[in-house]
Amino acid sequence: MINVTKPFLPDIEEYFEYLRGIWERCWLTNNGPLVNDLELRLKEYLGTKHLLFLGNGTIALQIAIKALELNGEIITTPFSYIATTSSILWEGCKPVFVDIDKNTLNINPQLIEAAITEKTSAILATHVFGNPCDINAIGEIAKKHNLKVIYDAAHCFGTKYKGKSVFDYGDISTTSFHATKLFHTIEGGAVFTNQAELLKKMVFLRNFGHDTNDTFACVGINGRSSEFHAAMGLLNLKSIDEILRSRKKQAQAYDAALETLKIEKQKIQQGAEWNFSYYPIIFETSEQLLKSLEELNGNWIYPRRYFYPSLSTLQFVKKYDVPVAEDICKRVLCLPMYHSLKTEEIGFIARLLLRVQNN
Ligand SMILES: *Cc1c(COP(=O)(O)O)cnc(C)c1O
């Protein structure tokens, strides 16, 4: 069976070593030494100023929205995982969908200004499949209209923009370290910011609002992670360069094997160094996608329809006119991509896809 993704697992003996340390210290969670060490090493590896390791990528989004004290309307993309929209709703704000660019699959900055009203407080955009948004254009619009910017960078571990980690951009960037992501801590996530005040606020928000044992600075939540998750992250970080290299090779193998397949591919933003976190292909029609999916599933291969359906079609959101996103959602498929996927397997997947096309 070949799934769309498969978690990377480090050497089990090395994990046992970390477990022994946890047993000796009997410090399981609440900002233990491994959590601190992981935060330090991530900062070093990514070259980012501040980050907080959190329980998952969804709580990261919610804490970001809380920290920026957003209210009213938040402009966002319909082409993302549901957590991007549900976090906005969960925080009592209203998602306003702006259509995507059909090439980059990211929010189309040219359509943002028309969606701004006096109730708009922020833009929450996803760097889809690790491809950076048009960060300059979004930044200029935000500045002109005094809006905050959050980037959902859940797919972005290893992506750079203009020479820096893409996590460095926006008032706050959030990410996920879920087991399906390129770098994972089983469950986990993080927030990044360059603003010391925001960092301080998020430290409180992550830990029930505690500023001392007996006093509370604000209404917080439990956003923390544990020593066990941090240990997984510390070990996976040792292999991250190898993981990133393997993705690039696999993407090149797919590119070569799929050369004659009638598909479109995502266009990578200028100035970006992409992490190859997914291999999305866009079929000419949704019928072609469905036929291909059936053929692959019949051979125990399970790609995923990322993202489907368009978030603009959820029953609990207001309707907006986003024809490009709703069309792409019906035609896009992410092919299997993980560190141990073999070139022969990529060749097999490609042959099946070509067989469907040529039938
Ligand atoms: C995975 C993902 C999330 C949620 O992360 P969790 O760690 O699963 O909570 C949010 N946004 C996007 C775009 C994602 O892909």
pLDDT tens per residue across span 45-76? 999 999 999 999 999 999 999 999 999 999 99
Choosing from 5, 53, 54, 58 the residue with most ligand 1 atoms within 8 A of its CB, the one to mutate for a pocket test is 58
Label residue 5 left, alpha or beta by phi (over 0 means left) and psi (-120 to 50 means alpha).
Answer: beta
| pLDDT for residue 259 | 97
pLDDT bucket at 173, cuts 50 / 70 / 90:
very high
**What average pLDDT score do residues 83-101 get?**
98
Instruction: State in Å: Cα 106 to ligand 1 middle.
Output: 16
Q: Using an 8 Å Cβ cutoff, are 40 and 34 in contact?
A: no
pLDDT digits (tens, 9 = 90+) for 223-258: 999 999 999 999 999 999 999 999 999 999 999 999
Quick check: 210 pLDDT over 90? Answer: yes
Cα 177 to Cα 205: distance, rounded to the nearest angstrom: 19
Length of the chain: 359
| Spatial CA neighbour of 127 closest among 225, 57, 223 | 57
Whether ligand 1 lies within 6 angstroms of the CB of 276 is answered as: no
Cα 313 to Cα 325: distance, rounded to the nearest angstrom: 10
Quick check: 126 pLDDT over 90? Answer: yes
pLDDT digits (tens, 9 = 90+) for 131-154: 999 999 999 999 999 999 999 999
Angle value at C-alpha 43, between 40 and 49, nearest 5 degrees: 115
Q: For all residues of the chain together, what is the average pLDDT? A: 97
SS3 263: strand
Q: Using an 8 Å Cβ cutoff, are 24 and 32 in contact?
A: no
pLDDT bucket at 94, cuts 50 / 70 / 90:
very high
Choosing from 65, 172, 178 the residue with most ligand 1 atoms within 8 A of its CB, the one to mutate for a pocket test is 178
Angle value at C-alpha 42, between 37 and 43, nearest 5 degrees: 100
Cα 211 to Cα 221: distance, rounded to the nearest angstrom: 13
Record the tokens describing residue 274, joined without a space: 């992409």
Label residue 2 left, alpha or beta by phi (over 0 means left) and psi (-120 to 50 means alpha).
Answer: beta
Which atom of ligand 1 is closest in space to residue 83's alpha carbon? 10
pLDDT digits (tens, 9 = 90+) for 2-37: 999 999 999 999 999 999 999 999 999 999 999 999
Q: Identify the structural domains of the chain with CATH numbers, from first to last.
A: 2-98+106-238 (3.40.640.10), 240-358 (3.90.1150.10)
Question: Could you identify the residue written with the tokens 């001392």?
Answer: 212
Instruction: State in Å: Cα 57 to ligand 1 middle.
Output: 5
Whether ligand 1 lies within 6 angstroms of the CB of 55 is answered as: no
**What average pLDDT score do residues 330-354 get?**
97
Cα 34 to Cα 17: distance, rounded to the nearest angstrom: 12
Instruction: State in Å: Cα 304 to ligand 1 middle.
Output: 15
Q: How many CB atoms lie within 10 A of CB 287?
A: 11
Quick check: 359 pLDDT over 90? Answer: no
- φ and ψ of 25, to 5 deg: -80, -25
pLDDT bucket at 212, cuts 50 / 70 / 90:
very high
DSSP string, 1-28: -EES-------HHHHHHHHHHHHHHT--
Sign of CA dihedral 184, 79, 146, 67: negative
Q: Is the pTM of this model over 0.85?
A: yes
Cα 327 to Cα 322: distance, rounded to the nearest angstrom: 9
